Structure formats: C-alpha cells, structure tokens
C-alpha cells in the first residue's frame, strides 16, 4: 500500500510525503499554497508512469526522475514536474538497484495512492 501524507512544516508551509509499504519514502519540497501542493500530487498521479529516468544534470526534458550518485556511494532521485519544477526528493539508497526499484514503485503506485491530510 502507498499513500501521500499532507503535512505542515514548522514554518506553516505545506509538504507531502509519499510512503510505500516497502519502507521507503520521498519528501516533496515545501509549498506556501496548498493548491500548488495538490497540483504536484496530481502531476505525480497522472503522469509518473510517463516520467523518463535520467542521470544527467540538468535534465534535457521534463517530466523526469533524475538519479543522483553521491561521493559516498549512496543514490537518490528527484522528481521534476511538467514545467521542470522540483516536486520531491527520495531518501538515499545504498545501491542504484534499490533506487530504481523505488522509482518503479512510485511509477506504479502513485496513481492509485490515497491522500492522508495530517494538517
């Protein structure tokens, strides 16, 4: 099971967390306006299965999942929306395979995920 949790940060800005049953999560950027947050969730729900997976920065096209490899060897990804805006960042993974598995789960599960309002 997967879901989006909508929350408020200490500054009063909205953000969401995409949680998946396999114990990984991804956190969105913060939004001053709830409507912007909801639009980002809509983009992920409607279009995440169309997002390309790339590993070069800056991305040549959007929407996409951009994979980053850190010097420590850990790997994480960021989701960019239709207009090139950063939507969310994953937690770090130990391997590229784990990162790719998380992207596949997000692509598969986002459209049917419920939204939990924790504000």
26 has a pLDDT exceeding 70: yes
Q: What average pLDDT does the chain have? A: 91
The DSSP H or E segment spanning 89 is strand 86-90
Q: What is the pLDDT of residues 34-82, one digit of tens each?
A: 999 999 999 999 998 889 898 887 777 889 999 999 989 899 999 999 9
Structural domains in the chain, CATH included, are 2-117 (2.30.29.80)
Residue 22 has pLDDT above 70, yes or no: no
Q: Give the DSSP per-residue string, 6-43.
A: EEE-TTS-EEEEEEETTTEEEEEPPBSSHHHHHHHHHH
CA distance 87 to 29: 6
Q: Which residue has the higher pLDDT, 46 or 20?
A: 46
Confidence band for 20, pLDDT divided at 50, 70 and 90: confident
Inter-residue contact 87 to 104 (CB < 8 Å) = no
Q: What is the pLDDT of residue 19?
A: 87
Mean pLDDT confidence for 9-27: 87
Task: Tell me if the pTM is above 0.85.
Answer: yes
Helix H or strand E segment including 116 = strand 114-117
**Tokens 């980053």 belong to which residue?**
68
């Amino acid at each position: 099971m997967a879901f989006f949790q909508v929350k408020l940060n200490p500054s009063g800005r909205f953000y969401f967390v995409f949680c998946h049953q396999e114990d990984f999560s991804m956190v969105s950027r913060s939004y001053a306006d709830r409507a912007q947050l909801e639009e980002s969730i809509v983009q992920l729900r409607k279009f995440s299965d169309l997002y390309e997976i790339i590993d070069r920065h800056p991305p040549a096209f959007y929407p996409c999942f951009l994979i980053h490899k850190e010097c420590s060897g850990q790997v994480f990804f960021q989701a960019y929306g239709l207009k090139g805006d950063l939507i969310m960042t994953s937690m770090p993974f130990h391997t590229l395979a784990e990162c790719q598995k998380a992207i596949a789960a997000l692509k598969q599960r986002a459209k049917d995920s419920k939204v939990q309002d924790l504000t």
